[in-house]
Chain A
């Protein structure tokens, strides 16, 4: 089996298929990237909705208090995941862009992705600053599990007001870029008919190659890599 595999030429973009689908490769994303992407996406949408409901709608005060605590715990979760996602983005290889993309489109996509990552970090950090500077001094009790300390910032009504404004403005900016990101993905899927959207749903290198025995063993395939 191994001999047969070694005898076959293996395209570079298919070197990490088969059992090892966690990592990205040149042909597509691995499960680590895909899982982080959708988890953070779901949390960001939930947090935007929560933030709007708890701040803008006339909700029951007791419910409002609970919504704030959920917002804080979920927000800290996004912060942690966004840190991991950013590190992953920096150290992991990126899949090749489709040939049909122009240089400007690639640069725009790169810039949007970088900004989305930066905002996924900045929005929860600004939220943490709100909790830290608030004169309410409500502890951040992560899912009623453990205390996340406040940032070392002075508490005052003006500082709380400023950071609330920053948190809100960055959140709306994030919402705008999330919308742009979704529209771009849909545009690629519906108008351009490329794999941009689809490859965030499954590991790209399985496309058209998953049945090949050569791709099923990354160790063997790896040895054949030039």
Chain B
């Protein structure tokens, strides 16, 4: 199965999970079977969506997190290339520790939450990049603009009931009409997410 996954460059995001599952399965009798990873998962509220926007001259930049999000993924039992993941972020829930920055991010200058209440991601492809890493491509939609983006995924942990990934990606703001504040603040938003999935 792992071989088949690797031969399919269009295999989707959680191919990796199954590929990784193969290693403990062959190494330890108590490890879950590959097929055990297949199924439907809901992204739990224990997940963390962190982001950083660097600022000119260093000094930390804007660091924050989104408190409200939802999502699910399905790992296809027969062909992980047919698996899907979708994720929805509610920018209204952005937290930075400074209310004025949060209000600014929600305003028409950035997310424009009055008109666009969600940011969505829908995976389209995955490419394995290492024993426990992969590059996931998908369509990110924010402020009514959709664009192909890429995230790198690292498998952190999994068992029969749940699974955890670290997902990182650098997203340019300007294509989404969110380039306010550049070049004082970087055009690049660095996402660092810990996503936990609970089997449904």
The interface of chain A, by Cβ under 8 A from chain B, is 60-62, 65, 69, 135-139, 141, 144, 147, 149
Contact = CB atoms under 8 A, between A and B. Distances in A.
Contacts of A69: 184
B172 to A, nearest CB: 17
Contact of B180 (A65, A135, A139, A141): A65
Contact of A60 (B55, B108, B183): B108
Nearest to B107: A61
A112 B126 CA distance: 72
A144 B184 contact: yes
A65 B108 contact: no
Contacts of A61: 104, 107-109, 180
Contacts of B59: 137, 139
Interface of B: 55-57, 59-60, 98, 100-101, 104, 107-109, 180-181, 183-184
Contacts of A62: 108-109, 180
Given A136-B100, A139-B184, A141-B57, 18 more contacts: A60-B108, A61-B104, A61-B107, A61-B108, A61-B109, A61-B180, A65-B180, A135-B98, A136-B98, A137-B59, A137-B60, A138-B55, A138-B184, A139-B57, A141-B56, A141-B183, A144-B183, A147-B56
A137 to B, nearest CB: 7
A169 B55 CA distance: 31
Contacts of B56: 139, 141, 147
B32 to A, nearest CB: 47
Contacts of A135: 98
A147 B101 CA distance: 21
Given A60-B108, A60-B109, A61-B108, A141 B184 contact: yes
A138 B56 CA distance: 9
Contacts of A65: 104, 109, 180-181
Nearest to B97: A135
A3 to B, nearest CB: 62
A112 B56 CA distance: 40
A80 B109 CA distance: 32
A134 to B, nearest CB: 9
Nearest to A149: B57
A18 B101 CA distance: 57
Contacts of B184: 69, 138-139, 141, 144
Contacts of A136: 98, 100-101
B105 to A, nearest CB: 10
Contacts of B57: 139, 141, 147, 149
A144 B57 CA distance: 11
